[in-house]
């Protein structure tokens, strides 16, 4: 199901706040008054009056009741919002952004758009501008998130560029969401500074993992992919430093034309030298951002690299490593690889194409990125 996490279309029905604000959604008009100041009341049917004290009011339909501020009519793009969700309301822009969705397992926080890599297939092209407000918002949002949340992702840009603010964010997550898994996507380079890696480890978050990419066993090839000289060595040192501080690490390898040639050698390198990492993910390409711009030079049909993928997975498994295949459809994978395939695409950008209609394994399959609707494997076929 495609979901617009941020969109305009919010219509003010009353006087509004001057600045953007963060709130949790509630459908309980009898919420104790002491708890109302951080919550917006989500109103699904017309009511004669709105109880006072809420941070604001979101109407699915109907007309406003006088005497209340920050009353808004939701647009059609945000009908999916439910109680427990945490949103950012921008009255001036008439926009609402879903920062956290209680019913979703795909909640990821963008903490910066700045990055010190420039990967040829980056799905979130970096922007060199001041965006500290992203972390400001998250620091206000985290206390509002349900402590029953299963997992939170942190992504960028490069989150490690935040330095001490990233550490503070991890402390906040440990404080308010101690039972929630936290997965940080990082290129690992700033973590080559042991003092920074030590600060991350000293947070002692009970369920923290860093996902760090390596795109080759050869430093020059990795550095070319990320367009940064010395990046391979820094990433490896970052991995070593995190493990020294007992922080779990996932290696990520994105498969495309520039990386697939040495995928088996990469697996051998990892099996010989990095067996202490906690997970290895071999990932299909997301054709958006720079990957879309460079698609003709990057695209390779998954059908054409099944032999290399199988060899790589078996190498890692024989070394006793946990390995998964992300962003691939079951029908394009060799049957022996199905047990490694994961439903890894975030629900808000996950689709199935026409060829999937009637497939008996659809519920087991990860499907496609929405951006891949017009460019996917020739091997896609329904299991009947």
Quick one: pLDDT at residue 64?
64
Where does the pLDDT of residue 53 fall: very low under 50, low under 70, confident under 90, or very high at 90 and above?
Answer: very high
The CATH number corresponding to 6-97 among 3.50.30.10, 1.10.10.60, 3.40.47.10, 3.40.50.970 equals 3.50.30.10
Where are the CATH 3.50.30.10 domain residues in the chain? 6-97
Give burial (CB, 10 Å; 0-12/13-18/19+) of 61.
exposed
The answer to whether the CB of 352 falls within 8 A of the CB of 330 is no
The two three-digit tokens of residue 121, written as one number: 């297939």
Q: Which residues pair with 183 in a beta bridge?
A: 153, 209
Q: Say if pTM beats, i.e. exceeds, 0.85.
A: yes
Rounded percentage of the chain residues whose pLDDT exceeds 70: 98
Mean model confidence pLDDT for the chain: 96
What superfamily would CATH give domain 108-372? Aldolase class I (3.20.20.70)
Determine the number of helices (DSSP H) and then strands (DSSP E) in the chain: 9, 17
Give the mean pLDDT of 245-271.
99
Quick one: pLDDT at residue 66?
67
Rounded percentage of the chain residues whose pLDDT exceeds 90: 92
45-59, 119-133, 227-241, 315-329: least confident range: 45-59
Count CB atoms within 10 A of the CB of residue 206.
11
pLDDT(270) > 70? yes
Residue range 137-191, pLDDT digits in tens:
999 999 999 999 999 999 999 999 999 999 999 999 999 999 999 999 999 999 9
Where are the CATH 3.20.20.70 domain residues in the chain? 108-372
The answer to whether the CB of 70 falls within 8 A of the CB of 91 is yes
**Angle (nearest 5°) at CA 91 between 81 and 9:** 55
State the DSSP code for 2: B
Quick one: pLDDT at residue 48?
66
Distance separating alpha carbons of residues 319 and 271, to the nearest angstrom: 6
Give the mean pLDDT of 13-41.
95
Encode burial over 352-382: b for 16+ CB neighbours within 10 A, e otherwise: beeebeebeeeeebbbbbbbbeeebbeebee
Residue range 180-229, pLDDT digits in tens:
999 999 999 999 999 999 999 999 999 999 999 999 999 999 999 999 99
The answer to whether the CB of 14 falls within 8 A of the CB of 89 is no
Residue range 354-365, pLDDT digits in tens:
999 999 999 999
């Amino acid at each position: 199901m495609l979901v617009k996490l941020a969109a305009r279309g919010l219509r003010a029905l009353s006087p509004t706040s001057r600045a953007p604000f963060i709130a949790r959604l509630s459908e309980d008009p009898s919420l104790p008054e002491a708890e109302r100041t951080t919550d917006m009341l989500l109103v699904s049917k017309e009511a004669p009056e709105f109880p006072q004290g809420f941070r604001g009011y979101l109407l699915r339909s109907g007309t406003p009741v006088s005497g209340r501020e920050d009353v808004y009519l939701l647009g059609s793009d945000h009908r999916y919002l439910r109680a427990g969700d945490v949103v950012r309301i921008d009255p001036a822009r008439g926009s609402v952004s879903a920062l956290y969705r209680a019913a979703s397992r795909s909640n990821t926080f963008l903490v910066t758009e700045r990055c010190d890599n420039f990967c040829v297939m980056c799905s979130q092209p970096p922007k060199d501008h001041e965006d500290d407000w992203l972390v400001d918002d998250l620091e206000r949002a985290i206390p509002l998130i349900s402590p029953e949340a299963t997992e939170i992702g942190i992504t960028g840009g490069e989150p490690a560029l935040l330095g001490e603010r990233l550490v503070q964010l991890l402390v906040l997550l440990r404080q308010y969401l101690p039972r929630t898994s936290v997965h940080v996507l990082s290129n690992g380079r700033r973590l080559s500074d042991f003092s920074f890696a030590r600060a991350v480890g000293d947070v002692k978050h009970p369920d923290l993992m860093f996902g760090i990419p390596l795109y080759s066993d050869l430093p020059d090839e990795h550095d070319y992919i990320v367009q940064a000289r010395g990046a391979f060595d820094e990433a490896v040192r970052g991995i070593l430093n995190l493990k020294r501080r007992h922080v779990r690490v996932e290696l990520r390898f994105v498969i495309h034309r520039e990386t697939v040639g040495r995928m088996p050698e990469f697996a051998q390198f990892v099996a010989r030298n990095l067996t202490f990492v906690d997970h290895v993910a071999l990932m299909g390409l997301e054709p958006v951002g720079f990957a879309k711009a460079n698609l003709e030079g990057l695209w390779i049909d998954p059908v054409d690299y099944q032999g290399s993928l199988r060899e790589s997975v078996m190498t890692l498994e024989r070394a006793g490593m946990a390995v998964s295949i992300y962003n691939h459809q079951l029908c394009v994978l060799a049957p022996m690889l199905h047990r490694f395939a994961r439903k890894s695409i975030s629900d808000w950008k996950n689709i199935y194409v026409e060829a999937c209609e009637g497939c008996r394994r659809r519920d087991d399959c990860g499907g496609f990125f929405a951006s891949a609707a017009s460019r996917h494997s020739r091997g896609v076929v329904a299991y009947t």
